[in-house]
Amino acid sequence: MIMLCLTFTAILVYVDDLVLAGNCLEEINRINKVLDDAFRIKDIGKLKYFIGMEVARSSKGIALYHRKYVLDLLSEYDMTNAKPVTTSMDYSTKLSKDCAAPFQDIFLCRRLVDRLLYLTNTRLDISFAVGKLSQCLDCSTISHHQAVLRVLKYLRLVPARGLFFLTSFDLCPTTYSDSDWAGCLDTRRLVTGTCFFLGSSLVFWKSKKQVTVSCSSSEAEYNHTRH
């Protein structure tokens, strides 16, 4: 039996900051030396902070979270002392483009939703709510503004929540998915959600409004499995 050992190295670049990641330390050190010979770079050691994302290591695994980013966001919008809530949105309230009176400062809503979109890189728990809010940025209402503030109140409950990747060799893939029926009140289209795990570590998630209009909940589930 022939065993092939493949090495993989990725370089993440933001302005003048670089992050090297891979599965072979010798290869990372070699690339680091090549970059240093060409550009005289400074190696500051293991990654701890990168464009708002914090990295923490332990014997059990690696955690990625945006604690400082969340705290700065709460401070900027004067929500530091707001009463926290346990869910990111009020699921009994259905948001649509004409569910309430228009909100006067539409640019405030747009900027806040934009800030929350970046946060979804590590916060699966707000992805669905932020996705719903981002669909009505051209016609934000008072209800949408209240829903955005609710997301901030939810973030205040646990600002350091994020992703955790275990140092486990269990790479068994597992996928969970679900769909609703006519979840979008404006288009009557179904919304699907999917999350993908390697072992017990979440590596991918997505919610999407489908292009078809289903006439029943059974058809919605069938279209979900097709897409």
**In angstroms, how far is CA 149 from the centroid of its own chain?**
18
Q: Judge contact between 120 and 126, C-beta under 8 A.
A: yes
205: alpha, beta or left? (left if phi > 0; alpha if psi -120 to 50): beta
**Mean pLDDT for back-to-back runs of 10 residues, the chain (227 residues):** 69 88 89 90 88 90 93 93 92 76 84 92 90 83 89 94 84 83 68 85 82 60 54
Q: 3-35 burial by CB neighbour count: b if 16+ within 10 A, else e?
A: eeeeeeeeeeeeeeebebeeeeeeebeeeeeee
155, 70 Cβ separation under 8 angstroms: yes
In this prediction the pTM is 0.80
- Interhelix angle 67-76/142-157, rounded to 10 degrees, is 140
Task: Confirm if 50 and 14 have CB atoms less than 8 A apart.
Answer: yes
For position 1, what pLDDT does the model report?
A: 47
Token reading at 53: 């994302």
**Nearest 5°: phi and psi at 26?**
-60, -40
Listed by start position, the domains of the chain span 9-45, 65-162, 169-226
Assign 47 to helix, strand or coil.
Answer: coil
pLDDT value of position 227? 54
Spatial contact of 23 and 7, defined as CB atoms under 8 Å apart:
yes
- At residue 91, the pLDDT reads 80
Give the residue from 110, 127, 133 showing the smallest Cα distance to 162. 127
pLDDT at 222: 55
